[in-house]
Amino acid sequence: MFEIVFFLAILLLLALTPSGVEASTNDTRLPLKSQDLASPHVQTLSMAGAHSYIMTKVDYLGLPPMFYRQFSDWQPGGPLFDPILALTVPGEGGHPIQTQVKAYEWRPDRAKLTVGYGNLLEGEQVIGYVGDGGIVAVIKIRSLTDDPVTIKFSGAVSPKVDSSSAEPYTERHGFRITVQKLVHNAWNYPPSKFDQEWFIGTNLTGLVRDTTKQTYSAIYRLPGGSQAEIRLLFVPGEMKAQMRDLLEEPMLALDSTTREVDDWLSTARKPRLSDEHSLKMYYNAWYQFWYNTEHAEGFWSRPIITPSKSYYGRGVWLWDSAFHIFALIQGGKHGIQLAKDQILVLTEGAKIVGHLPREVWVGAVNPELQAPGILTWAAMEIYKLDKDKDFLARIYDSLANNNHWYYENKDSNHNGLCEWAGGDSGWDTSPRWDKGEVDAVDLNCWLYVDQVKLAEMARILGREDDAREWTEKAEKTKTLVRSTFWDEQDGCYYDRHPKTGELIKVKTPVTFWTMFAEIATPEQAKRMIEILTDPSILWTKYPMPCVGANEPTHEPNNYWRGPTWINLNWITILGLEKYGYHDLAKSLREKSLEVIAMNPVPHEYYNPHTGKGIGAPNYMWTGALFIVMINER
Ligand SMILES: [Ca+2]
């Protein structure tokens, strides 16, 4: 009864998809399970399909420890419930008495917190997700005094919603909560209406309950010298029928979640790894796919993987998705279907906006841009595994139209090279765009890769005329990139301003796109390596900064103006391999794996000098590329 619909759907697809990459090791420790990933450093929990996450340890914000904030992706930028199931002991004036966290442990399936309430109580709480977005908390509480102790549990809906109500609910001695909010979509799509009902239940009787429109609380009196097990349940309306069973056997429900996580981890390709820390990070990265997966809904005709549920909320981003796919296809049967789902939701979006969209959300498609070609490349990597021509036939037109669209819409100076800047590039705030849109090295390398891969795809589909056309186009693009962007003096490729023709001389890893695309000559590659291995430019302690360390615009903690981004490293590693620089590729790979593993969870980007993780935590493409690079060793 606790299974997730999406996993059932995938199980049904098992028979339809051929097997993926087989296990590559006989290590008896593998696969790691939820319990092996225990850590005191992770502070959020979610599960596939939950559309929410909770912060599991917030005492560092000066709040009582058994106080959970629930964030919903329907309300980005703030909690929807704050708190959701807080357990406190009211002291003088009703203020919670001081508490002490004695122990904290996170696992992918649950978090455990041991707390002392002054000299009155000791409590140990286990909390975790169950079913489709339900939360279960089991608190074992022991009185340290002969007098009765008043215990309060409470929660509150964010005042930022349009309307809400809370009322006592006759069954399970809890509450019924409703929340309504109109979510305004960008890009002229109609607003989505968020209208949800939740139920809170408990095993306790004799509660004194109190509600307002936005708050709910209940008082329980624990007799002196006694102990009790308090079970709290928070479920969406769809799970109301399960409340009785969940409250009677909450640990069975949590065990079911554990099995779901462990089943998912068991599908991961077994890595060849000896050190415990990297092994934990590898399986943690696999867990993140589970954490960041959301149900099919709205424009999502299938389950999607969001870049970071706890930071970006819902939505699928184009180039993020491609990086996710390179890891997913190493996850065996489940992964290949999910990988196809990520491409299909974007190619279906392309039929709405005329080219591949930057993002697809539950109620909207963002028609801005992102790397062309990366999805075509990802699709061909999937094809290598399962030889599914029907899949290629289904996506080919969207991908082909996307390539044509660039030349019709993004070449203002008609020189056969396309232009972009900012968010379109994915390098949102890079100094590469400080003077506006450029004829861009990466964009034109991506278009070239796209044309090469589209030629392969067309040939497989028997579209020989298309294949010839793509091959000719690719040759033209290659020649133009070489003749337009190379700077013999500095020994690297630079973007060029489309109006003034000026080379935008800021040294960044973008020059290595020409190696990844196999456009650079071997002599040019040799010159570029000098920049890569120079500690004053790109070979910092944790390479590579996305802006050279000696550039005046280099800011090591500032988003796309200096930090190390793992996807840039990986593209560069692939380029190095193609030109025979295997040792250097290995060094950059090991440095990249090191900076990821030295932080508790994969981050969006890293300080290139200290290695400190910055930006979104549980960042999916960093986790995905950790998996990919471990398996490339
Ligand atoms: Ca142009």
| Structure confidence by residue, pLDDT tens digits, 325-377 | 999 999 866 789 999 999 999 999 999 999 999 999 877 888 999 999 999 99
Long-range contacts of the stretch 461-469 (C-beta < 8 A, 24+): 461/389, 461/392, 461/393, 461/396, 463/396, 466/400
| Cα(322) to centroid(ligand 1), Å | 26
Structure confidence at residue 332 (pLDDT): 67
CATH number assigned to the domain covering 32-263: 2.70.98.50
- The dihedral formed by the CA atoms of 302, 307, 312 and 317, expressed in degrees to the nearest 10: -70
User: Which residues are within 8 A (CB) of 11 and not within 5 positions of it... i.e. 6 or more apart?
Assistant: none
| Cα(413) to centroid(ligand 1), Å | 5
Q: Is 93 exposed, middle or buried (0-12, 13-18, 19+ CB in 10 A)?
A: exposed
User: Which residues are within 8 A (CB) of 518 and not within 5 positions of it... i.e. 6 or more apart?
Assistant: 578
- Delimit the domains of the chain by residue range: 32-263, 276-632
| Cα(45) to centroid(ligand 1), Å | 46
In the CATH scheme, what architecture does the domain 276-632 have?
Alpha/alpha barrel (1.50)
| Cα(340) to centroid(ligand 1), Å | 33
The pair of structure tokens assigned to 457 is 């795809």
Structure confidence at residue 19 (pLDDT): 38
| Cα(438) to centroid(ligand 1), Å | 8
| Cα(409) to centroid(ligand 1), Å | 10
| Cα(420) to centroid(ligand 1), Å | 9
| Cα(498) to centroid(ligand 1), Å | 6
Q: Is 523 exposed, middle or buried (0-12, 13-18, 19+ CB in 10 A)?
A: exposed
| Cα(495) to centroid(ligand 1), Å | 11
Structure confidence at residue 512 (pLDDT): 98
Taking the chain (633 residues) in runs of 10, the rounded mean pLDDT of each run is 43 39 68 96 88 76 67 76 89 87 94 92 94 92 96 92 93 91 71 88 93 95 95 94 95 96 93 89 94 84 87 85 96 85 95 93 87 98 97 98 98 98 97 98 98 98 98 98 98 98 98 98 98 98 98 98 98 98 98 95 96 93 97 93
| Cα(484) to centroid(ligand 1), Å | 10
User: Which residues are within 8 A (CB) of 535 and not within 5 positions of it... i.e. 6 or more apart?
Assistant: 549
| Cα(402) to centroid(ligand 1), Å | 17
| Cα(347) to centroid(ligand 1), Å | 25
| Cα(410) to centroid(ligand 1), Å | 7
Q: How far is CA 536 from CA 288, 304, 382, in A?
A: 35, 41, 39
| Cα(404) to centroid(ligand 1), Å | 14
| Cα(444) to centroid(ligand 1), Å | 10
Q: How far is CA 287 from CA 54, 279, 463, 545, in A?
A: 16, 12, 40, 28
| Cα(417) to centroid(ligand 1), Å | 4
| Cα(440) to centroid(ligand 1), Å | 8
Structure confidence at residue 6 (pLDDT): 45
| Cα(360) to centroid(ligand 1), Å | 27
Structure confidence at residue 7 (pLDDT): 46
Q: Is the preceding omega at residue 40 within 30 degrees of 0, hence cis?
A: no
| Cα(531) to centroid(ligand 1), Å | 27
Length of the chain: 633
The pair of structure tokens assigned to 74 is 């329907």
| Cα(486) to centroid(ligand 1), Å | 16
Helix 276-291 with 318-328: angle, nearest 10 deg: 120
| Cα(503) to centroid(ligand 1), Å | 13
| Cα(416) to centroid(ligand 1), Å | 6
| Cα(421) to centroid(ligand 1), Å | 12
